[in-house]
Amino acid sequence: MRKYLLLLVLLISLLQVLAGAEIRGDELWLEVSLASGSSLELRQSGAIRITDSSGIYSRELSGNINISLDSQNSVSLYGIIGEVVQNVAMTDENYYTRESFAWIDSSLVIREESVALVYDSFHSLAEAQAFADANGISRSRIVALPMSGASLVARDSGGFQYYFESPLTIHCTNPVRLDNSGLSWTGEFRIKLVGDRLQINHIINLENYLAGVIQNEIGSGAPVEALKAQAVASRSHAVSMLLYNRHRNDGFDLCNGTHCQVYKGEHLLNNQILEAVLATQSEILTYNGRVVDATYHSSCGGKTDASHLIWRGQPTPYLQGVTCIDEADSLDLSHEADLRTWVNTNTIDPAMSSWERASQNWNRTIRNGALASRAGLDYINRIEIISRGPSGRILNLKLIGNQTKTYNSESQIRSVFGTLPSSLFYIEGNYRNLSNGGISISVGASLRLRGKGSGHGVGMCQVGTLRRAREGCPYTDILGHYYPGTTIRTDWLIHATR
Ligand SMILES: [Zn+2]
Ligand SMILES: [Zn+2]
């Protein structure tokens, strides 16, 4: 077995650099994950150019192309991460280099770090897990290794096969589809082998990436000042996501889902979006010289909330919660009576689109049994709402029946009640005040919830951003309102250091 492994390691070696973020000119280029799998389908009516790792062997293929690992040398390799050395390129074969992002001297820096593997690589995940368990090593240190030199086979619709060594670079000027989502992609791509899966990434600069993000976030028809505010928030959020280094073992910099930000390429792209991105080029929000994680949400419902209450952790000065709709200012939404008054206040204005309207007032009827079963209880006869944040979102709640279940986060509360738009709601019926400041409410066979808002309520409110933009408010004022104390900067990108 060992011999077999070594032979494979000779044929297929660790990819020198795992993710491909780089600075071209003075632009930040990223690898954004589009899909992964044991094989990839590239559907197109034009032609794509595939170039292999040498950069010399290149072919143009037309029609639909299927790319898979050549079964002759099929191998999946896993490793256990040991020592990580910053800024030193190690030549030892048991090291591979991955990128990490850091914020140094008020700038974003792409660093390379050398990662040592404990023992050796493993043929399968199960082998790596068995080794980790036997040696008291945490399974969280097991990673799928990025491999280069693996033989990949591209089959065209006529059944012809072409062999390439991974990683591959692909250029296409015609739209290519990767799945049934209806989304298509053009430009430059990279296909690499990570563990036992093929990973396809879009190679794109940060500004074009943002153009493919903001229409999903705030709507392609939004007024341009709202699009600009969203562009700066999304750019800041993207840079923060890079700094969390959450994908540094995955072979890409950002994913295209809600985990990072939803990225749909040129889908719904229009001139207003391009104008908003261009007019705010390189602008990010900073606080005390550091980029701000400019988180945002659909609709606060009246006031935004404080990040440390919604997500715990240290209070963040620019995410403390602000009033979004002036009429809510005189109310203390953390108190049940004021909260009920506010939820029943009509905040719809005629300029709102349908999704904005839907977030202003919502109702749900939930069967006691369904709620109990999601909570793992037989029945529920009482609910205690212990505390609410400044936006009115419920932060702590108890479901009391044959046992008591306690929920201490807005996301848990939204999910136990069945994927609610927000935790800003009350349960209809009379309540009594508890000595701890909370309230208690008896519940029958069904519960009726009345709520407002959509999303976690922290940072910029998109419905409020749209309203302010329609009223003629410039994007800089919108950002200053939702992220108080922050400064816009453009000079934050510097070249990689070793
Ligand atoms: Zn992600
Ligand atoms: Zn709002």
pLDDT, tens digit, 9 for 90 and up, residues 434-445 = 999 999 999 999
Write down the pTM of the prediction. 0.90
Q: Is pLDDT of 76 > 50?
A: yes
CA of 213 to the centre of ligand 1 (A): 13
Distance from residue 263's CA to the centre of ligand 1 (Å)? 11
Nearest-ligand number for the alpha carbon of 321:
2
Å from CA of 264 to ligand 1 middle = 14
C-alpha distances (whole Å) from 17 to each of 33, 85, 104, 200, 241 are 16, 14, 21, 16, 20
Q: Which tokens belong to 194?
A: 């990570």
**pLDDT at 467 > cutoff 70:** yes
pLDDT of 1 reads 35
- Provide the residue type at 83 as one letter: E
Rounded-to-integer distance, Cα 126 and Cα 170, Å = 33
Average pLDDT of span 322-330: 97
255 CA to centre of ligand 1 in angstroms: 4
- Angle between helical axes of 475-482 and 462-470 (0-180°, round to 10): 140
Kindly tell me if the per-residue pLDDT of 74 is higher than 90: no
- Indicate if the pLDDT at residue 182 is higher than 50: yes
C-alpha 311 – ligand 2 centre gap (Å):
19
User: Tell me, what's the pLDDT at 11?
Assistant: 46
Ligand 2 centroid – CA 121 distance (Å)? 51
388 C-alpha to ligand 2 centroid (Å): 17
Q: Are 303 and 392 in contact (CB under 8 A)?
A: yes
337 contacts: CB under 8 Å, gap ≥ 6: none
113 C-alpha to center of ligand 2: Å?
A: 42
Instruction: Identify the pLDDT of residue 459.
Output: 98
- Angle in degrees, CA 240, 203, 275, rounded to 5: 70
For 447-455, what is the mean pLDDT?
97
